[in-house]
C-alpha cells in the first residue's frame, strides 16, 4: 500500500496554519499513489488537536505522552518513524517550518529514506511522484526523483492551499516507546516574542524595510499598523542589529507569500526575493529607479520612504 503520512505541528493546543498547507500537499500525493492520507500529531494533552485534525478527513494518529510535550526532534522522530512503518507509508511529509526542518531529516534517517526539502510542487507520472524544489536561492527549480522505497519531504507552505474541512477521519492512539532518560537533548526553554501584529509567515499583508531605513523602522511600523500587517526586514537591516532576526525575509530568513508585500528601502537582491517573490501583489518604494526590486514589483514608487510611507499611512487613516 502506498499511504501518505503527514506530521502535524501543534502549539499550545492549536494546529499550526502551515500544517493545513502540508495536508493539501499530502492529499495530492495520496490521490496520485491511490493510498490513504494519515496524520501524526505528537505532544502532551493533544486530544482536542487530534479531533480538530480529524475534521480534515484524514486518519489521525495521536501520540500523547509527557516525553513528547516539547518539540524535541530526538524524542519525536522514532515515534513518527514507527508510525510510518505501522501505516505502511511510502511518503512522509511535513511543512518546511523550523519544526519540520528539525524533525523530518531524523525521520528520514531512521527510515533509511531519501528526502526532498522545501518542495514547491509534484511532478512525474501517476504514482511515480517527483518533487519540485528550489536551488540556488530559487534561481533553479530542480525536479527530484527519490529512489528509496520510503520518501520523506517537507513542503513550502506558501505553495499549497490550506486544506479545507472534509468529512471526519478516525482518531487512533499511536504507540510511544521513547525512554525519556536516554535522550541526549534536553528542553531548555522557549521564549515567545509577544506581538500585537500578525505572525510574519501567516499575515495577509507584510510591510518590510531594508538598509534604506538607515535603522529607523518607525515609518515601516506605522504603515504596518495602519494595514494590520506584519513587519519584515532584509538581512542588511537584521545584520545591522536594527531589528530582530525573526523579522528577516529571504533565503536565510522566512519565506512569505502574503496578498500584499510592501518593500521599502530594499534593493531586491536575489536572496531577499527568494523569500517573498510568491507574494500576490508586490509594492516597492525605493529612491533608486534602477533598483532591481522594480523588475519584480507590481507597483513601484520612486520616492523617499521617509516621505512616501507616512503620506500613505495618513491617507489610509483618513480613508477610514
Ligand X SMILES: Cc1cc2nc3c(=O)[nH]c(=O)nc-3n(C[C@H](O)[C@H](O)[C@H](O)COP(=O)(O)OP(=O)(O)OC[C@H]3O[C@@H](n4cnc5c(N)ncnc54)[C@H](O)[C@@H]3O)c2cc1C
Using the rule CB under 6 A, which residue among 266, 283, 284, 312 binds ligand X?
266
Which lies closer to ligand X via its Cβ, residue 100 or residue 210? 210
Which lies closer to ligand X via its Cβ, residue 10 or residue 248? 248
Determine, following the binding rule CB under 6 A, whether residue 304 of this chain makes contact with ligand X. Answer: yes
DSSP code string of 182-215: G-S-----------SSPPTTT-SEEEEE-GGGTT
Q: List binders of ligand X among 199-258 (CB under 6 A).
A: 210-212, 234-237, 248-253
Which lies closer to ligand X via its Cβ, residue 113 or residue 283? 283
Among the listed ranges 4-12, 43-51, 182-190, 303-311, the one in contact with ligand X (CB under 6 A) is 303-311
Using the rule CB under 6 A, which residue among 73, 271, 277, 310 binds ligand X?
271
Determine, following the binding rule CB under 6 A, whether residue 272 of this chain makes contact with ligand X. Answer: yes
Using the rule CB under 6 A, which residue among 78, 269, 277, 310 binds ligand X?
269
Q: For residues 10 and 95, is the Cβ–Cβ distance under 8 A? A: no
Among the listed ranges 22-30, 156-164, 172-180, 286-294, the one in contact with ligand X (CB under 6 A) is 286-294
Q: How far is the CB of 270 from ligand X (least distance, A)?
A: 7
Q: Could you give the string, one character per residue 168-207, with x where binding to ligand X holds by CB under 6 A and - elsewhere? A: ----------------------------------------
Q: For residues 243 and 230, is the Cβ–Cβ distance under 8 A? A: no
CA distances from residue 12 to 23, 42, 44, 75, 303 in whole angstroms, order as listed: 20, 12, 10, 18, 43
Q: How far is the CB of 196 from ligand X (least distance, A)?
A: 24
Among the listed ranges 31-39, 112-120, 178-186, 281-289, the one in contact with ligand X (CB under 6 A) is 281-289
* C-alpha–C-alpha distance, residues 185 and 301, integer Å: 50
Q: How far is the CB of 14 from ligand X (least distance, A)?
A: 28
Q: Work out whether strand 140-144 and strand 128-135 pair parallel, antiparallel, or are unpaired.
A: antiparallel
Q: How far is the CB of 233 from ligand X (least distance, A)?
A: 7
Determine, following the binding rule CB under 6 A, whether residue 90 of this chain makes contact with ligand X. Answer: no
Determine, following the binding rule CB under 6 A, whether residue 279 of this chain makes contact with ligand X. Answer: no
Determine, following the binding rule CB under 6 A, whether residue 311 of this chain makes contact with ligand X. Answer: no
Q: How far is the CB of 314 from ligand X (least distance, A)?
A: 17
Q: How far is the CB of 56 from ligand X (least distance, A)?
A: 32
Question: How many residues bind to ligand X according to rule CB under 6 A?
Answer: 28
Using the rule CB under 6 A, which residue among 291, 297, 312, 313 binds ligand X?
291
Which lies closer to ligand X via its Cβ, residue 71 or residue 268? 268
Which residues of the shown chain bind ligand X in the complex (CB under 6 A)? 210-212, 234-237, 248-253, 265-267, 269, 271-272, 275, 285-288, 291, 304-306
Amino acid at each position: 500500500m502506498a499511504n501518505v503520512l503527514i506530521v502535524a505541528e501543534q502549539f499550545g493546543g492549536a494546529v499550526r496554519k502551515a500544517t493545513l498547507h502540508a495536508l493539501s500537499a499530502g492529499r495530492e500525493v495520496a490521490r496520485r499513489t491511490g493510498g490513504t492520507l494519515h496524520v501524526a500529531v505528537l505532544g502532551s494533552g493533544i486530544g482536542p488537536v487530534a479531533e480538530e485534525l480529524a475534521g480534515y478527513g484524514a486518519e489521525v494518529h495521536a501520540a500523547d505522552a509527557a516525553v513528547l510535550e516539547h518539540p524535541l526532534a530526538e524524542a519525536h522522530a522514532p515515534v513518527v518513524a514507527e508510525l510510518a512503518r505501522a501505516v505502511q507509508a511510502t511518503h512522509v511529509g511535513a511543512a518546511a517550518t523550523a519544526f519540520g526542518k528539525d524533525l523530518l531529516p531524523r525521520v528520514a534517517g531512521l527510515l533509511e529514506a531519501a528526502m526532498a526539502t522545501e518542495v514547491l510542487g509534484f511532478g512525474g507520472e501517476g504514482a511515480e511522484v517527483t518533487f519540485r524544489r528550489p536551488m540556488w536561492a530559487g534561481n533553479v527549480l530542480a525536479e527530484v526523483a527519490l529512489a528509496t522505497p520510503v520518501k520523506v519531504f517537507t513542503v513550502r507552505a506558501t505553495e499549497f492551499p490550506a486544506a479545507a474541512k472534509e468529512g471526519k477521519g478516525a482518531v487512533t492512539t499511536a504507540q510511544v516507546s521513547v525512554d525519556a532518560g536516554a535522550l541526549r537533548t534536553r528542553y531548555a526553554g522557549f521564549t515567545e516574542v509577544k506581538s500585537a501584529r500578525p505572525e510574519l509567515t501567516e499575515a495577509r499583508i507584510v510591510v518590510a524595510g531594508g538598509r534604506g531605513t538607515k535603522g529607523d523602522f518607525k515609518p515601516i511600523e506605522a504603515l504596518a499598523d495602519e494595514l494590520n500587517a506584519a513587519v519584515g526586514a532584509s538581512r542588511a537591516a537584521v545584520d545591522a542589529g536594527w531589528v530582530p532576526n525573526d523579522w528577516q525575509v529571504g533565503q536565510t530568513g522566512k519565506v512569505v507569500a502574503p496578498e500584499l508585500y510592501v518593500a521599502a528601502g530594499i534593493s531586491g537582491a536575489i536572496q531577499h526575493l527568494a523569500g517573498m517573490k510568491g507574494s500576490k501583489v508586490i509594492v516597492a518604494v525605493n529612491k533608486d529607479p534602477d533598483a532591481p526590486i522594480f523588475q519584480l514589483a507590481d507597483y513601484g514608487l520612486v520616492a523617499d520612504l521617509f516621505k512616501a510611507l507616512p503620506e500613505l499611512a495618513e491617507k489610509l487613516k483618513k480613508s477610514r
